[in-house]
């Protein structure tokens, strides 16, 4: 409800009684909760707001004064009254209990530390509540509470204001002074004295307020007149600071637009108009510019339109901007904020065609820039794909070659955006018509040309074709030495887009440098393989990319494959494509660290990739087994996105078995490296008995029996019946020797990569991994621990006896035996 106007106080009291009924429902039961301050404060907050509406008061009226003026006891006392009535029952008890409640309220009112001005005017609550006449409205509440447009009160909220009365310069302007002392209102006081037939003083105002009904009404009207006069005087003082008010209107317009279009604001509704802005527009308010001493308008000013630009995020802002331009309708005055953003820029950014045209007709320079970014109007409107405004700006003299702070021209912006195929054609046809040459190879601060900025998708083929036909250099490199082909190779590869690029360059007789090097010596083929784009790499090879070019770290494409890929099909396809083109990759070339592709493949424990390298000429006679640091480097990269302990353990042992079968002799130091890796990356059976017991249940056993493991032997012999294949349950239940007969290392490796294994719960996978890693590596540890054990006991037992002894040890114990011998030998040396 509004404070001024609206319902009179008696009607407001009816609404308040409804709230009382709701709040006091069941009060005899919950009355004891009023003793807890937190509870009663929440309920009293609602009750007090209802009382404020009754008296048309403001929130800063004190709690006790609010209740006294409204003639309503506090909620806690009302709840206590209801409880007493409920306990006593007789019909006359309500009046008696209300009298008791008013007595308690009076006692509380007399002891209250706030609302003392109100207490001087209304010392007796019972008389005030039972007066039976008169209405309390906004103006009378200001008198009774002492809160109005009094300078002493306003100074609390703005300490820059003076608290002195403008008529009585040495006196503080408060409620008592204005109503009973100030000569400004002498005539009003005389009229009231005639009505009441008594001298007006603050001490007898309470008695005067209880005069006859007619007298009270007349007296109230006099005090209302004084309050209205004070309000109008405050307004008159505001006229003196009209520029401050206009600035506040700017601020209100900004806050209104921000809240109405901020998704985090409760007022957010993109389909709704901004209420304050709409209201100001409908009033016909127009912004008036300020002028300097020579009569020129001051253009350096921040308005609501600049604030709109700060949070602009979509097309829903256009109605708001149009409304604001109805207020800021001086198009020969282009306000600019501290960043250099002007009203003209905002109109271009939002796409207000008629507004842009009005600015240009008023003489606005279409090449004016935003100083903070150096963006021109063309840069701003480009993001909206608004051809009409772009054409208007170009025809009015806008330059298509102006760079912003990033060095990007309008053509860079066109290239970066996802325009339709005809937009570039529209732009070049228009600049040709206007005889405005466009720099197609202009470079931004990073050295990128517009061609280098094109998004690499089929949708942008039109822009690509238009730039190439207009003379763009396909081999132009940026500051990093990267060409457009580097961008195609390292981005999200689109085969149709890449094919179109080569078709156009062939048609235009502009050969593409497929082996161009960037500042790190990398060719497009290197980047394609580094990004694990098999399709891009194959495409580049078919276009003549050299398979043996090394980067600054002396890594060839084959190094990149063995470092980055986990798929043997890539290396197989690499050799096959080069063979078709009669190109022969160097398989034993070393990088700066002295590592060959075969060493990288072994360190990545990928048996099939190792097999492909050996099949294609990798020489084991000069092969050096990777160091533990080399393994750690590869494992660290895998742990970021692809890491399974079972795959690691089985792959590592499969690689060792493979190179041994091809003639490599593993020595004890190599074996210790392998054992230390298996130990460090927890490939031992380290689960406790309690953890293992959780997997002996029927549910896990049922799932394990359903999972069949395909073996390399069954694949060679032909299609085997599913029931003949070993199950995961069989494998777990078998002893290591029996498991070695069922599966090879490669079979374990395949199973670790299978969806059946991945579909197991994490707890089940951890159990299987721990159990199977111990089992599959058992033979390796036994073979390499037998002789260290034999030497540690000084050969006092035959080998056969040593085998029988160590068979009872687990893999970790066997590893410790090997370590012990190594330590002993080091000490001897």
Beta carbons of 167 and 85 less than 8 angstroms apart: no
Same domain assignment for residues 20 and 142: yes
* 787-807 average pLDDT score: 91
Question: Is residue 587 one of the residues assigned to a domain?
Answer: no
Which pLDDT score, from 0 to 100, does residue 218 have? 43
Question: Is residue 276 one of the residues assigned to a domain?
Answer: yes
Beta carbons of 44 and 76 less than 8 angstroms apart: yes
Same domain assignment for residues 304 and 348: yes
Cα 822 from Cα 824, distance rounded (Å) = 5
List of residues 6+ apart from 759 with CB closer than 8 A: none
Please, which pLDDT band fits residue 155 given cuts at 50, 70 and 90? low
Please, which pLDDT band fits residue 317 given cuts at 50, 70 and 90? low
Same domain assignment for residues 141 and 222: no
Least confident interval from 187-196, 233-242, 781-790: 233-242
Cα 101 from Cα 89, distance rounded (Å) = 17
Last residue of one domain, picked from the residues 147, 179, 209: 147
Which pLDDT score, from 0 to 100, does residue 237 have? 47
Which pLDDT score, from 0 to 100, does residue 34 have? 78
Last residue of one domain, picked from the residues 490, 525, 546: 546
Of 124 and 1, the structure prediction assigns the larger pLDDT to 124
Domains identified in the chain, total number:
5
What φ, ψ does residue 293 adopt, rounded to 5°? -65, -25
Looking at the predicted structure, is the pLDDT value of residue 76 above 50? Answer: yes
Which pLDDT score, from 0 to 100, does residue 92 have? 61
Same domain assignment for residues 15 and 139: yes
The crossing angle, in degrees rounded to 10, of helices 37-55 and 75-88 is 100
Which pLDDT score, from 0 to 100, does residue 239 have? 40
Least confident interval from 58-62, 423-427, 638-642: 638-642
Which pLDDT score, from 0 to 100, does residue 307 have? 77
Same domain assignment for residues 216 and 283: no
Last residue of one domain, picked from the residues 546, 567, 595: 546
Cα 337 from Cα 326, distance rounded (Å) = 19
For residue range 390-440, what is the model confidence (pLDDT) as tens digits? Answer: 999 999 999 999 999 999 999 998 888 766 667 888 899 999 999 999 999
Beta carbons of 198 and 208 less than 8 angstroms apart: yes
Same domain assignment for residues 20 and 104: yes
Q: What is the pTM of this model?
A: 0.65
Which pLDDT score, from 0 to 100, does residue 268 have? 45
Same domain assignment for residues 170 and 293: no
Same domain assignment for residues 345 and 464: no
Which pLDDT score, from 0 to 100, does residue 29 have? 80
Cα 743 from Cα 776, distance rounded (Å) = 9
Mean pLDDT of the chain, nearest integer:
81
Question: Is residue 597 one of the residues assigned to a domain?
Answer: no
Burial pattern 211-250, b for ≥16 Cβ within 10 A else e, equals beeebbebbbbbbbbbbeebbeeeeeeeeeeeeeeeeebb
Looking at the predicted structure, is the pLDDT value of residue 466 above 60? Answer: yes
Biggest distance spanned by C-alpha atoms of the chain: 134
Instruction: For the beta carbon of residue 675, count every other beta carbon within 10 angstroms.
Output: 23
* 274-281 average pLDDT score: 70
Q: What six digits make up the tokens of 213?
A: 């009904």
Which pLDDT score, from 0 to 100, does residue 241 have? 44
Least confident interval from 104-113, 215-224, 813-822: 215-224
> Phi-psi category of 605—alpha, beta or left, where left has phi over 0 and alpha has psi -120 to 50?
left
Question: Is residue 798 one of the residues assigned to a domain?
Answer: yes
Same domain assignment for residues 381 and 423: no
Please, which pLDDT band fits residue 667 given cuts at 50, 70 and 90? very high
Least confident interval from 512-516, 600-604, 755-759, 813-817: 755-759
Question: Is residue 578 one of the residues assigned to a domain?
Answer: no
DSSP 222-281: HHHHHHHHHHHHHHHHHHTTHHHHHHHHHHHHHHHHHHHH-TTSTT--TTSPPHHHHHHH
Same domain assignment for residues 227 and 101: no
Question: Is residue 28 one of the residues assigned to a domain?
Answer: yes
For residue range 690-713, what is the model confidence (pLDDT) as tens digits? Answer: 555 555 557 777 888 888 887 765
Most confident of 195-199, 205-209, 403-407: 403-407
* 729-741 average pLDDT score: 82
Beta carbons of 785 and 802 less than 8 angstroms apart: no
The closest of 200, 240, 242 to 218, measured between CA atoms, is: 200
Please, which pLDDT band fits residue 46 given cuts at 50, 70 and 90? confident
Which pLDDT score, from 0 to 100, does residue 242 have? 46
Looking at the predicted structure, is the pLDDT value of residue 657 above 90? Answer: yes
Which pLDDT score, from 0 to 100, does residue 42 have? 80
Residues forming beta bridges with residue 727, ordered by sequence position: 708
Same domain assignment for residues 442 and 541: yes
Which pLDDT score, from 0 to 100, does residue 755 have? 87
Most confident of 424-428, 610-614, 739-743: 610-614
Same domain assignment for residues 26 and 142: yes
Question: Is residue 640 one of the residues assigned to a domain?
Answer: no
H, E, C per residue of 552-584:
CCCCCHHHHHHHHCCCHHHHHHHHHHHHHCCCC
Please, which pLDDT band fits residue 714 given cuts at 50, 70 and 90? low
Coarse DSSP helix, strand, coil percentages of the chain, rounded to the nearest 5 percent: 60, 0, 40
Q: Which domain holds residue 453?
A: 403-546
Q: Residue 273 is part of a domain; what is its CATH number?
A: 1.25.40.20
Question: Is residue 668 one of the residues assigned to a domain?
Answer: no
Of 155 and 184, the structure prediction assigns the larger pLDDT to 184
């Amino acid at each position: 409800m509004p404070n001024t106007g609206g319902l009179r106080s008696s009607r407001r009291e009816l609404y308040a009684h409804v709230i009382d009924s709701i709040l006091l429902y069941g009060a005899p039961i919950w009355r004891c909760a009023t003793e807890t301050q937190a509870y009663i404060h929440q309920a009293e907050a609602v009750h007090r707001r209802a009382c404020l509406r009754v008296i048309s008061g403001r929130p800063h009226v004190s709690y006790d004064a609010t209740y006294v003026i409204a003639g309503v006891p506090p909620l806690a006392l009302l709840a206590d009254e209801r409880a007493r009535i409920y306990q006593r029952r007789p019909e006359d008890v309500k009046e008696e209990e209300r009298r008791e409640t008013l007595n308690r309220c009076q006692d509380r009112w007399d002891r209250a530390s706030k609302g003392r001005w109100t207490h001087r005017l209304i010392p007796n609550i019972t008389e005030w509540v039972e007066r039976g006449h008169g209405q309390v409205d906004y103006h009378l509440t200001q008198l009774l509470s002492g809160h109005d447009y009094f300078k002493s009160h306003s100074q609390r909220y703005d300490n820059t204001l003076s608290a002195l009365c403008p008529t009585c310069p040495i006196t503080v302007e408060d409620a008592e002074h204005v109503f009973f002392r100030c000569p400004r209102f002498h005539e009003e006081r005389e009229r009231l004295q005639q009505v009441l037939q008594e001298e007006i003083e603050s001490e007898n105002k309470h008695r005067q307020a209880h005069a006859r009904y007619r007298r009270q009404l007349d007296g109230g009207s006099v005090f209302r007149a004084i309050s209205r006069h004070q309000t109008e005087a405050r307004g008159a003082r505001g006229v003196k600071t009209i520029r401050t008010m206009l600035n506040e209107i700017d601020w209100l317009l900004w806050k209104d637009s921000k809240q109405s279009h901020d998704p985090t604001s409760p007022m957010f509704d993109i389909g709704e108009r901004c209420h304050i802005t709409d209201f100001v527009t409908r009033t016909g308010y127009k912004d008036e510019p300020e002028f300097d001493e020579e009569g020129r308008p001051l253009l350096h000013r921040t308005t609501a339109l600049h604030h709109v630009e700060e949070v602009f995020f979509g097309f829903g802002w256009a109605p708001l901007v149009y409304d604001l331009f109805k207020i800021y309708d001086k198009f020969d005055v282009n306000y600019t904020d501290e960043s250099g953003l002007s009203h003209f820029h905002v109109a271009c950014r939002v796409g207000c065609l008629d507004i842009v045209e009005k600015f240009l007709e008023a003489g606005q320079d279409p090449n004016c820039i935003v100083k903070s970014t150096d963006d021109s109007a063309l840069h701003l409107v480009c993001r909206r794909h608004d051809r009409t405004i772009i054409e208007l700006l170009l025809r009015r003299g806008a330059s298509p070659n102006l760079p912003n702070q990033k060095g990007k021209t309008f053509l860079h912006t066109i290239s970066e955006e996802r325009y339709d195929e005809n937009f570039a054609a529209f732009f070049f046809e228009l600049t040709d018509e206007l005889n405005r040459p466009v720099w197609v190879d202009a470079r931004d601060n990073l050295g990128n040309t517009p061609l280098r900025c094109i998004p690499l998708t089929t949708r942008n083929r039109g822009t690509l074709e238009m730039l190439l036909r207009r003379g763009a250099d396909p081999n132009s490199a940026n500051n990093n030495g990267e060409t457009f082909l580097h961008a195609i190779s390292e981005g999200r590869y689109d085969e149709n887009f890449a094919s179109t690029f080569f078709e156009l360059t062939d048609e235009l007789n502009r050969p593409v440098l497929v082996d161009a090097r960037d500042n790190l010596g990398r060719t497009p083929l290197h980047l394609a393989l580094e990004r694990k784009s098999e399709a891009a790499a194959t495409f580049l090879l078919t276009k003549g990319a050299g398979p043996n070019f090394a980067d600054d770290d002396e890594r060839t494409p084959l190094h990149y494959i063995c470092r980055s890929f986990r798929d043997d099909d890539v290396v197989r396809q690499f050799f096959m494509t080069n063979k078709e083109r009669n190109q022969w990759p160097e398989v034993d070339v070393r990088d700066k660290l002295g590592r060959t592709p075969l060493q990288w493949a072994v360190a990545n424990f990928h048996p099939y990739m190792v097999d492909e390298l050996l099949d294609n000429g990798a020489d084991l006679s000069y092969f050096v087994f990777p160091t533990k640091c080399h393994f750690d480097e590869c494992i660290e990269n895998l742990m970021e996105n692809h890491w399974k302990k079972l795959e690691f353990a089985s792959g590592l042992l499969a690689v060792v078995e493979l190179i041994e079968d091809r003639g490599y002799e593993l020595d004890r130091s190599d074996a210790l490296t392998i054992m230390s890796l298996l130990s460090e990356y927890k490939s031992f059976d380290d689960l406790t008995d309690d953890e293992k017991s959780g997997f002996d249940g029927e549910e896990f056993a049922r799932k394990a029996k359903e999972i069949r493991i395909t073996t390399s032997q069954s694949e060679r012999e032909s299609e085997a019946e599913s029931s003949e294949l070993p199950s995961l349950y069989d494998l777990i239940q078998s002893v290591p020797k029996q498991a070695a007969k069922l599966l090879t290392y490669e079979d374990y490796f395949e199973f670790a990569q299978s969806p059946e294994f991945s579909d197991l719960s994490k707890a089940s996978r951890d159990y299987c991994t721990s159990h199977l890693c111990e089992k599959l590596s058992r033979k390796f540890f036994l073979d390499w621990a037998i002789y260290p054990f034999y030497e540690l006991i000084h050969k006092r037992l035959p080998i056969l006896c040593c085998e029988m002894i160590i068979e009872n040890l687990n893999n970790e114990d066997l590893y410790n035996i090997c370590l012990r011998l190594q330590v002993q030998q080091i000490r001897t040396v």
